[in-house]
Structure 1
Amino acid sequence: MPVLEIRGLAKSYDDHQVLYDLDLELEAGTITGLVGPNGVGKTTCLRCIVGLVFPSSGTIHIAGVDARSDGVRARRSLSFLPGEASVYRWMTGQEFLRFGLGFHDTIDDDFVGRCLEAFELPMHRKLRGYSSGQKQMLALTVALGPRVPLYILDEPEKALDASKRHRLRELLDEVQGRGASILISSHHISELELFTSQYAFLNAGRVVLDDEIDHILRALSRRVRVRFEEGVEPRDVPNGVRVEHDGRDWILHASDEFDSHALATQLLKQQPLRLEVGTPSLSDVYDHLYVHTMERA
């Protein structure tokens, strides 16, 4: 049984539709990144899941419980980190932690202790004296402390430095290891790649189908990126190979008749400064799906 199952989710505000027939499913013990630029509906989707926004249509099941007909019981199975996490400035860190965790039935005290150790928070200091990063880490501790099957995290890496992002990665791995599922929303692609390799791409209010992503990956895997000395261009490019200029780099798209490795071998004869025959990264897929689409529009 999926920990989270969304079917046909739609949401509109007056005459503006944000989500269209969205489907999403998370299995136990997975970390999934919800990917997309600002404005594609990521935050609205999360708010529908946690009950802050009522869907126009569709169903949401959390740990097998219908969130529409039994919302209170369903949402006892999740913990949520909002994208704009607020704190009470007059509280100490310890007081806010106790307050935030008090909304949940089961708390993993040992894990909370490991979060506090990892984040090195001054728990007896008033929150008015916390930095933005410290406030974020305290909010993360509150969100990750409950023992639930589903965690919804909206931009959890926000305001964290590199060392604390790596500590967060270790903590999320531990949560995943005990069988919980984590849904992370972010438009910072390089940060998402630190936390997971499983993604749901949201575009125009829908989750992009796996078949479309596979098509993009196949196209990108045939790409060769090369850089020569200033003023040098690729020579003797075979028929059917498409060539693009990207700053100082040249991007060549191999064809069925001439694969990327054969193309790279030929380009090496020109002694390039750099050559990449790549497995596409998340950033490559993101650019293809969003940036290039907007440029063509």
Structure 2
Amino acid sequence: MVGRRAQSELEGRAARCVGARAARAARRARLRLARLAARLVRRRRSRAAGRGAARGGLPARADVRRRGGAEVLRRSGGTAAAGSRLPPARKRLRGSRAPVLSGHARGGDAALSAPAVELAGLSRDYGARTALAPLSLAIGAGELVGLLGPNGSGKSTLLRMLVGLVRPTAGAARVAGVALRGDGLAVRRVASFAPGEIALYGELSARAHLDWLLRGRAREAYARAHSLAERLGLPLGARVRSFSHGMKRQLLLAAALAPDVPVRLLDEPTEGLDPTKRGEVLALLREDRAAGRTLVLSSHHLGEVDAVCTRLLFLSAGKLVADEDARALERRASALLRLRFPAGVGAERVAGELARAGLAPSRTWQVAGEDGQVWASCRLEAGDPRAAFARLATAELPAPTAVQHGRLSLAELYHE
């Protein structure tokens, strides 16, 4: 009886040992699977970080934790800023080289006399479509340059190439004396960038998001960004998800204007802002230029930038169609007179009567009908509209309902 009981107990212990070993083996298998899954997640985040760079340098993941009552951003993933680590997908790009400009030394005193931005045949193709035709130009230190053109003209493509977010198909570039190579990390140490697209993390506060955008910059940049955001009326403690489109635009601008770098590249900095905020932003740009920095900004609204820019570059279908300073544009605008006549007059009658009155007979009047109204546009010889008004009085036409002088629309500028 005792022998059977002992045998039964031994068999039970053996079964429990086998079960324990099986449980341990199952736990080890689950642990291996968990490690494999974590490795896959990290790999996906690294790839997402590379894609996030092309969308404007946003993090692959960002968490917020509390420490001593203050918000501290725990960073992981993301686009490389000055001093930050690159994910594997971007490390491979850093070692590759773009064509190099000759003639200027990198850094040192030689770079001080070099242009702030220099392009030599820089271009970008997407398959058979040319986003930017080969472009060669130089922008001097301290200039405030406006890139103007309709949507799809190549403005954003050019700015993204200058900071390494888009690889050029051909050509070379220097920014603040630094050659554009690989992923553009060296350029981003001497230039700041405000992307045109808005893709922010809504769960972060404005203060935390500014700190993340400025990672790797000097500590003074953080305080300046907070000051600029407060000047623009942004609540730093509020979550970004509560911000309007214009407020998010201003948050990106505050981050771009904060670092102490010689060059700033701003893609549509006034897009989505009301007139009052546009004025405040343009005032900030004037102040930044007065401090000796070079600014290049894009827009498709001529009236917003011609008042602050010292030079205007006009792009159309990826090609540079005009390069003018602000004074030359003002002279062109002063030579243009536009008249609007009421509906029912007829475009042919307006053209004939104005020609008979002798208004700029050596020039061709452009007459277009719109909603029954007729617009007539004429180039003045001396830029003084008073003689034209005297001749207009002799024409057998009703009084114009609108008269414009000294202003050029973007479409008129391209046409002229």
TM-score, normalized by length of structure 2?
0.61
- Change in Cα spacing, 1:68 to 1:256, as seen in structure 2 (3 Å) is same
* 1:79 Cα deviation from its structure 2 partner: 0.5
| Match 1:101 to one of 214, 217, 227 | 214
Say what the alpha-carbon RMSD is for the aligned residues: 3.3
Corresponding residue for residue 244 of structure 1: 366
* Structure ranking higher on relative contact order (CA contacts 8 Å, 6+ apart): 1
Corresponding residue for residue 278 of structure 1: 405
Name the aligned partner's letter for residue 399 of structure 2.
P
* 1:262 Cα deviation from its structure 2 partner: 3.5
- Change in Cα spacing, 1:173 to 1:108, as seen in structure 2 (3 Å) is farther
* 1:99 Cα deviation from its structure 2 partner: 1.1
Residues 1:3 and 2:130 aligned together = no
**Contact 1:78 / 1:149 at 8 angstroms: preserved in 2?**
yes
Corresponding residue for residue 253 of structure 1: 378
Corresponding residue for residue 391 of structure 2: 266
Instruction: Measure, in 2, the Cα distance between the counterparts of 1:215 and 1:204.
Output: 23
Instruction: Measure, in 2, the Cα distance between the counterparts of 1:196 and 1:25.
Output: 16
* 1:71 Cα deviation from its structure 2 partner: 3.7
- Change in Cα spacing, 1:143 to 1:222, as seen in structure 2 (3 Å) is closer
Q: Deviations over 1:3-60 (max 9, x none)?
A: 1111111111222222221123222222111111112211111111010111111111
Task: Give the 5 Å matches for 1:109-258.
Answer: 111-193=224-306, 195-196=308-309, 198-210=311-323, 222-228=335-341, 233=350, 234=353, 236-238=356-358, 239-246=361-368, 247=370, 248-253=373-378
More deviation, 141-150/9-18: 9-18
Instruction: Measure, in 2, the Cα distance between the counterparts of 1:256 and 1:35.
Output: 27
Instruction: Measure, in 2, the Cα distance between the counterparts of 1:226 and 1:214.
Output: 24
**Contact 1:67 / 1:75 at 8 angstroms: preserved in 2?**
no
Instruction: Measure, in 1, the Cα distance between the counterparts of 2:375 and 2:129.
Output: 41
- Please state whether the residue corresponding to 2:200 is helix, strand or coil: coil
| Match 1:62 to one of 146, 171, 175 | 175
Name the aligned partner's letter for residue 200 of structure 2.
V
Residues 1:83 and 2:196 aligned together = yes
Which 5+ residue runs of structure 1 have no aligned equivalent? none
**Contact 1:7 / 1:60 at 8 angstroms: preserved in 2?**
yes
Instruction: Measure, in 1, the Cα distance between the counterparts of 2:242 and 2:380.
Output: 59
* 1:276 Cα deviation from its structure 2 partner: 4.5
Instruction: Measure, in 1, the Cα distance between the counterparts of 2:340 and 2:201.
Output: 53
TM-score, normalized by length of structure 1?
0.82
* 1:137 Cα deviation from its structure 2 partner: 1.4
Percent identical pairs in the alignment equals: 33
Instruction: Measure, in 1, the Cα distance between the counterparts of 2:222 and 2:211.
Output: 11
**Contact 2:343 / 2:374 at 8 angstroms: preserved in 1?**
no
Q: Kindly name which structure, 1 or 2, has the bigger radius of gyration based on alpha carbons.
A: 2
- Change in Cα spacing, 1:135 to 1:12, as seen in structure 2 (3 Å) is same
Instruction: Measure, in 2, the Cα distance between the counterparts of 1:19 and 1:115.
Output: 33
- Please state whether the residue corresponding to 1:133 is helix, strand or coil: helix
Instruction: Measure, in 1, the Cα distance between the counterparts of 2:374 and 2:211.
Output: 54
Question: What is the count of residue pairs matched by the alignment?
Answer: 288
| Match 1:17 to one of 125, 130, 135 | 130
Instruction: Measure, in 2, the Cα distance between the counterparts of 1:215 and 1:197.
Output: 10
**Contact 1:34 / 1:186 at 8 angstroms: preserved in 2?**
yes
* 1:197 Cα deviation from its structure 2 partner: 5.0
* 1:149 Cα deviation from its structure 2 partner: 0.8
